[in-house]
Amino acid sequence: MMKITCISASNIEPAREHSASTRTCELIRDLAQTEGDAQVTILPLMDYEMKPCRMCGKCLETGQCVRDTAFNQIYQHLAEADAVFVVCPHYAPLPSKLMMLLEKLEEICYLNWCQDQGYQTIVHQKPIGLVAHGGQTAQAAPYYKTALLDPLALAFASVQMKVVGAGEQWPNGVAFGVKSLSLAPGAVFVTIEHDWDDIRGRLAPLVKNVLAQIG
């Protein structure tokens, strides 16, 4: 059985019940289970209270963060997975908890590489599929590619992961926008409608390509 970890980087508490990031993870789970025998674990980062990296260097000795149990739990999931997906919404532009995760992955990798340039991380050559989305219509997809997918691909590749794309036009993952949005009187957040059939169609080749990379 393939073990897959899918990270939802959304951190908007009022939208927990209608999170597009989590819904996307659920679509990825369904597609993966259609493709083959897959066990998919969805990790919503809003449930993990990670702490920023202080660059203390103690992870070199312990192999994990000495200050951050939440990070260590996610790190263990990454270690045990055969493949990883990350679904990232547009914030400013990247969600803070996802940045904390990347900070610590980078620091563990860099400190060990400084000691041994042949060092291989726990996610060495592990396939990863990236999905970016935001609150603008489909016309914003090229922006999401530039602002989210491309930097995330560089960051995950720098910790030795294997970034898998969805074809020539989307070499670093896929992106999508919203179908429509509206603001009800007195509301703080807009009501967003997505075209989930279209999104599923965008995700399908990415999921297929990632699973094909599992050795």
**Tokens at residue 158, please?**
């720098």
Backbone dihedral angles phi then psi of residue 202, each to the nearest 5 degrees: -70, -35
Model pLDDT, residue 39: 95
Can you give the residue range of the structural domain that contains 203? 2-212
Nearest to 12 by CA among 65, 67, 90, 119: 90
Mean residue pLDDT of the chain comes to 93
CATH of the domain at 178: 3.40.50.360
Q: Please answer whether residues 4 and 40 qualify as being in contact, where contact means their C-beta atoms are separated by less than 8 angstroms.
A: yes
Q: Do the beta carbons of residue 71 and residue 63 sit within 8 Å?
A: no
Q: Percent of the chain having pLDDT more than 70?
A: 99
For 90, residues 6+ apart whose C-beta sits below 8 A from its C-beta are 132, 133, 134, 135, 144, 147, 148
Tokens of residue 94, six digits: 């990247």
Give pLDDT tens digits for 118-164: 999 999 999 999 999 998 888 888 999 999 999 999 999 999 999 99
Mean pLDDT of 86-93: 94
Of 72, 42, 21, residue with least CA distance to 175: 21
Total domain count for the chain?
1
pLDDT of residue 186: 85
Measured N-to-C along each axis, helices 150-158 and 96-115 cross at an angle, to the nearest 10 degrees, of: 30
Any idea what the Cα angle at residue 210 is, between residues 214 and 141, rounded to 5°? 165
What pLDDT shows up at residue 187? 81
List the structure tokens of 142. 């090229």
What is d(CA 37, CA 33) in angstroms, rounded to the nearest whole number? Answer: 6
Q: What is the pLDDT of residue 183?
A: 84
**For the whole model, what pTM was predicted?**
0.94
Q: Which of 84, 48, 88, 86 is nearest to 68 (CA)?
A: 48
- One-letter identity of residue 151: P
